[in-house]
Amino acid sequence: MPTDNRPDLTTCDREPIHLPGSIQPHGVLFALADGRIVEAASANAAPLIGGPVSDACGRPLEAVFEGLDPAHLDALMGPIPADRAVRLGPVRFGRPNSGSDAARTERGAVFDVLAHRSGGLTLLELETIEPDSPSPEAADDPVAALVGRLQQTRRAGEAFADVAAVIRAVCGFDRVLIYRFDETWSGTVIAEDRNDTLPSYMDLRFPASDIPAQARDLYRRNRVRQIPDADYAPVPILGRWPEPIDLSNAVLRSVSPVHVEYMRNMGTAASMSVSILTEGRLWGLIACHNRLAKVVPPAIRATCDLVAQILAMRIAVEDVHGDAADRVTVQASHARLLTAMARATDFTAGLESAPDALLGLTRAEGAAIVHEGKVVRVGATPDPWQVQRIIGWLMSRGGEDLFATASLVEEMPGAEAFADVASGVVAVSLSRVHASHILWFRSEVVRTVTWGGDPRKQFEPIGPDTRISPRKSFEAWRQTVRATSRPWTPAEIDAARSLRQAVVEIVLKRAEELAALTEDLQRSNRELEAFSYSISHDLRAPFRHIVGYAELLSERYGPQFDDKGRHYLANITESAQTAGKLVDDLLHFSQLGRVQILPVSIDMDRLVAEVVRSLAFETRDRPITWRIDPLPPATGDASLIRQVVFNLIGNAVKYTRGKEPAEIAVRGRQTVGENGAETIFEIEDNGIGFDMTYADKLFQVFQRLNRAEAFEGTGIGLALVRRIVDRHGGRTLAFGEIGKGATFTFSLPAGPGAATRGDA
């Protein structure tokens, strides 16, 4: 329990400012029930009705006043919205049907009338139209010119000062500010237009407590509010309505005494605020101040509201474009992480294998993956035991799916110890039971904030108690802000949430399917083994028989055949042999998905030399110039990598046939890039080449870019190459030019343990 009588600083947030029970005196209010029955009115309505408010209560409005335009009366029965006021236009209230002679002197008064719903009532707000009121048409030209400039500016911020100048020119205030809220609801003056009567507030920051939560809600619901005279005496609302009347949308609503005192402390007698709303959210305010009392007619206020809405639309368009660009950037990282997780044995290994994408997802400086008691860290992060402390604190809060803050120190006790690397934190929980989280960190950004006066609330003693009073000084007050990071954008927070959903789906899906997969895989393996046996025995045997019988036929009866018959017989033998090789290649290709990869360090110089020797029979009597550079070692399955090199060098030998001399080069290098450390090998030839338009087809099964009659082969060799390299987590590329040769490149992740990915 508190030991003094100091009021809670949230008192202002709980003040029922929408139920003041009074209005400002520059207008008159009537509250009408069904049938336009007067239920209540402001006390200053007495001169209009020719007597006390009680005389009008219980009577229809048309019985209180004669000569009311039937169109206006009909409008009161129409669909007047509850969330905003409808302007009924100038209305002349005629002589009261009863009342004193004094009342009859008001029978010619013309009022601008606003109507809106409030609970079971229709509220009419009457403001006198003065003969010398500025014409709203006078604002047409400057507003039209402003709209044109807003359309031409590249950024809305370039037009803020212009908007402030136009509003001041239209309304005649001493100072007009553009005031923007941040994510904590503190506000900063980002544009200003003024004369020398009031001081400049440009670039000053004001705390959220200056505009409490319920006041911000009213600014959101009621876009234009004015206080013509801070020294006004509130006019009470009288009548027979049994409940307090909600004046949230009333332009005449009396304001909080604290706010009036705030205005006096600022040295302003009159003010007007116009809300800037983007997608229903309060983005900021156009705040207008005057040293002396000042009334802005409804028509001029409507013009200012129009300007604010046009500005809001321009801001919203810019925000949408910026947010869309933001989301495109983080989506690229999200896609890379999904790919990495799909390739890895578990999600932690996948995330760890793509550190740049993990950090780029939220544009963080560090990240940590906490799963099954392990802490995997990337970039600048707290120590592992400190990460575990954060996890423990997060779990003590009740297991939120997502937590985000730009100042962990303000939320978590003891976070000062690692604020240098973890002032900002985004954390997603992957389990409601176990400590499984992904966290992103941002470092501390020390900055100086200039406030419009000391933002802390002041206390004034009144007898034994104290009350909250707004500060009296608005001189620049500088504060050094520490333990705060750059704020997280909505796109970054949404990206973290999307990754959480993806990881949870992957983990749950794998857990749920694990038992079924085991059984399915066993059954599939049995079926594949049966199929393989069928291929190897039942299908290959007939081809061997065809070849054997064709050879017997040639030996025994060959002399009896003419040249055409012998040609047919040779084609039968060759086709059967090709079909048998095709079956062998298909069998090999299908088995690659099930072959276990055993990565070792491979001497690529020796491997290439062995492949070249194995091709000696095909290269005999051919002028081939070999240029084989010293090659770096590779990490992978030795037999499979030999298959890759054999296929690529064999293709180079095949497709340089007819070149005098043929030139074949083999090169290798190690590099570190966006894909991590990898070893790259190139096989280049000066053969027939290919059209790059069809480069992607080269690595597909049965895809050939030349006639089968010209070059032997089954069309599976390059598909085998790509599948083997993919199994190792590498990449394959091809470059060529018709008639000038081709270059085939494959890369392998460097280091032990890199070749562990299952077949896709």
pLDDT tens column, 33-44: 988 899 999 999
Residue at a domain's end among 129, 163, 197? 129
Measure the N-to-C terminal CA separation of the chain; round to a whole number of Å: 64
Residues 6+ apart with CB under 8 A from 64: 38, 49, 56, 96, 97
CA distances from 701 to 479, 528, 547, 559, 723 (A): 68, 19, 25, 41, 11
Task: Judge whether residue 355 has pLDDT over 50.
Answer: yes
> Residue 343 pLDDT > 90, yes or no?
no
* pLDDT of 212 above 70: yes
- What CATH number has the domain bearing residue 125? 3.30.450.20
236 touches 252 (CB < 8 A):
no
pLDDT one-digit tens code per residue, 614-625: 888 878 888 889
Structural domain that includes position 98:
19-129
pLDDT at 271: 94
Structural domain total, the chain: 2
Which CATH number characterizes residue 630's domain?
A: 3.30.565.10
Range scoring the smallest mean pLDDT among 100-104, 243-247, 399-403: 100-104
Does residue 652 lie in a domain region?
Answer: yes
Radius of gyration in angstroms for the set of CA atoms belonging to the chain, rounded to a whole number = 41
**How far apart (Å, rounded) are the C-alpha atoms in residues 161 and 404?**
34
- The answer to whether position 393 is within a domain reads no
Can you give the pLDDT at residue 42? 94
Tell me if 230 is assigned to some domain.
no
Determine the average pLDDT of the residues in 597-622. 86
Residue 420 covered by a domain: no
Looking at every residue in the chain, the average pLDDT score rounds to 80
In the prediction, which pLDDT does 537 show? Answer: 56
Mean pLDDT for 391-405 is: 86
Count of alpha carbons within 13 angstroms of residue 256, beta-carbon side: 21
Pairing of strands 424-429, 175-181: unpaired
In a domain, residue 306? The reply is no
Of the candidate ranges 67-71, 167-171, 426-430, 736-740, the one whose mean pLDDT is the lowest: 67-71
The last residue of a domain, from among 129, 146, 177? 129
Q: Please write the tens of the pLDDT for every residue from 270-292.
A: 999 999 998 889 999 999 999 99
- Identify which has the larger pLDDT, 241 or 317: 241
SS (H, E, C) 328-368: HHHHHHHHHHHHHHHHCCCHHHHHHCCHHHHHHCCCCCEEE
Domain final residue, candidates 67, 102, 129: 129
Q: What residue spans of 222-375 are helical by DSSP H?
A: 257-266, 298-343, 347-352, 355-360
Confidence of residue 558 (pLDDT cuts 50, 70, 90): confident
SS3 571: helix
| 590-605 mean pLDDT | 76
The dihedral formed by the CA atoms of 350, 355, 361 and 363, expressed in degrees to the nearest 10: 170
Q: Dig out the tokens for 489 from the structure.
A: 């954008």
**Is the pLDDT higher at 340 or at 101?**
340
Q: How far apart are CA 580 and CA 508, in angstroms?
A: 45
Give the per-residue pLDDT at 164.
92
Instruction: Provide the pLDDT for residue 68.
Output: 73
User: Could you say which DSSP state residue 725 is in?
Assistant: H
Task: Write out the DSSP string of 100-147.
Answer: -HHHHTTTT-EEEEEEEEETTEEEEEEEE--TTPPPGGGGHHHHHHHH
Its pTM stands at: 0.57
Confidence of residue 685 (pLDDT cuts 50, 70, 90): very high
Q: Considering only residues 643 and 239, tell me which one the structure prediction assigns the higher pLDDT.
A: 239
- Domain assignment present for 92: yes
Specify if 155 maps to a domain.
no
User: Three-class SS of residue 96?
Assistant: strand
Collapse the DSSP code of 167 into the 3-class scheme (helix H, G, I; strand E, B; otherwise coil) and give the result.
Answer: helix
User: pLDDT, tens digit, for every residue of 529-540?
Assistant: 566 556 655 666
- Mean pLDDT, rounded, for 643-654: 88
Question: Would you place residue 330 in the very low, low, confident or very high pLDDT band (cuts 50, 70, 90)?
Answer: confident
Strands of the sheet containing 402-405, edge to edge, are 374-379, 366-371, 437-442, 424-429, 402-405
For residue 655, being part of any structural domain is answered with yes
